[in-house]
Chains A and B, each alone.
Chain A
Amino acid sequence: MSRALLEAEGVVRRLGGRRVLDGIGLGVERGQGYVLSGDNGSGKTTLLRILAGLEAADAGVLRLEGEQTPLPRYPDDWRLRVVYVHQHPYLFHTSVAANIAYGLKARGVAREQWLQKVEEAIDWAGLREVVAVPPQKLSGGEKQRVALARAKVLSPQLLLLDEPTANLDADGRRRTLELLPRLFADGVSVLIACHDREIIELSGVRRFHLEDGKLVPLA
């Protein structure tokens, strides 16, 4: 079986007359971590959102486990397999646990199962001490960890993280950074768009740089 989980070919996105993504080609292997760097406005978020099925591309083809998806259409189960975490994650006005359980409930997972998975995810993300705090009162770092737990608990085939350490204080950044290698260790394919040098230099990840709409592999 091919190790390729996701392949992108000729992905084009025009915004305001500019080709933000100019024929992007990308291959994502199972269980591999990737880091996507690039200047502000270089199209990192746009690419992640297209891969997540949240934004339409103007042209291109995506293949997930060999199944071809001519953009801008996505199969119904795309977002069950590819999960995107926003740079500024939105937490629903419920509880931390209900936020983490949201995707599991959307997938129709049985109550006993999601209860157990949520408990495990709370421990995984180190959220036990804030589990009773209303999500809107959490710090930026805690919100980011809830969002990571909420995505990770779904066991996605591909996890797309958009600037996971941006705008976090030192402690929030440190605790978020601790979770990333654990995601790789769990065998989740992860593509991270970021500026953070510490993430870019994580061991074992493959690096790309997005510039002038083109994707350049980095050593």
Chain B
Amino acid sequence: MDLLEPTRQAFALLLRGDPELLQIIWLSIWLSVTAILLISPPSIAFGVLLARRRFPGQRALVVLVQALLSFPTVVVGLVLYLLLSRRGPFGSLELLFTPTAIVIGYMVIAFPVLVTFTVSAVQGADPRVFETARSLGASGKRAALTTLSEVRFGIIAAVVTAFGRVISEVGCAIMIGGNIDGLTRNMPTAIALETSKGDFAQGIALGMVLMALALGINVAMAFLQGEGGLK
């Protein structure tokens, strides 16, 4: 197979700012960012709770959330499809094959990533952080926020990893988004579709954008972390 020609076409698409391509890129970023913004605060709070509080079943809950990490996204898509389809319990909301459905799917996929990374970061924090904050008169909530601030690089890593997972996700997005042109077609689903049609140029172009995004985010994270992240 000749890879040179489709690659040249892919660069041409990117350089001339092909409107269809830009629309797909914009939709992907918008859906992913929206999902991460919505799910991060409750997931991080839940992660802090799991890491700091002792209660019956806590360990089992941590294991369950960790197990969700390896849950196939296509199964997440299947469950959400059944819930959102016309005959499902939430069918009346008419969310199936809408951008909102994809955002919900992304939130479900990002949740275990954010919780697990947060638990790991908070449990890995120096035990003196919380104690020092408390001994200086901070409330439990303020001391927990101080701990979060001290492990902020771990939290940033959680958010970046979750973003990376959802923006490159294909199974769930196809199942509950339907890959509808101009409405729910994002980068991974477009790559899958165009490749199956034998139109490699758009797939390569979108693949390059995805890789550039991944690289850009990781460089930004390393920069933000400064010395703390480059040990």
Contacts and interface: CB of A to CB of B under 8 A. Distances in A.
Contacts, number: 52
Interface stretch (A2-10, A99-107, A184-192, A203-211): A99-107
B136 A151 contact: yes
Interface stretch (B67-75, B113-121, B127-135, B175-183): B127-135
A50 to B, nearest CB: 13
Interface residues of B, number: 17
Contact of B129 (A79, A92, A106, A150): A92
Contacts of A79: 134-137
A86 B131 contact: yes
A52 B135 contact: yes
Contact of B228 (A85, A93, A106): A93
B38 to A, nearest CB: 28
A64 B38 CA distance: 46
A151 B133 CA distance: 11
A90 B126 contact: yes
A215 interface: no
Given A93-B228, A106-B142, A80 B137 contact: yes
A54 B137 contact: no
Interface string A57-98: 000000000000000000000011001111011101100000
A83 to B, nearest CB: 6
10 contacts: A52-B135, A80-B137, A83-B137, A86-B128, A86-B132, A89-B128, A90-B128, A90-B131, A93-B149, A106-B139
Given A92-B150, A106-B142, A151-B136, 13 more contacts: A54-B131, A54-B134, A54-B135, A79-B134, A79-B136, A84-B135, A86-B135, A90-B126, A90-B131, A92-B129, A103-B136, A106-B138, A107-B137
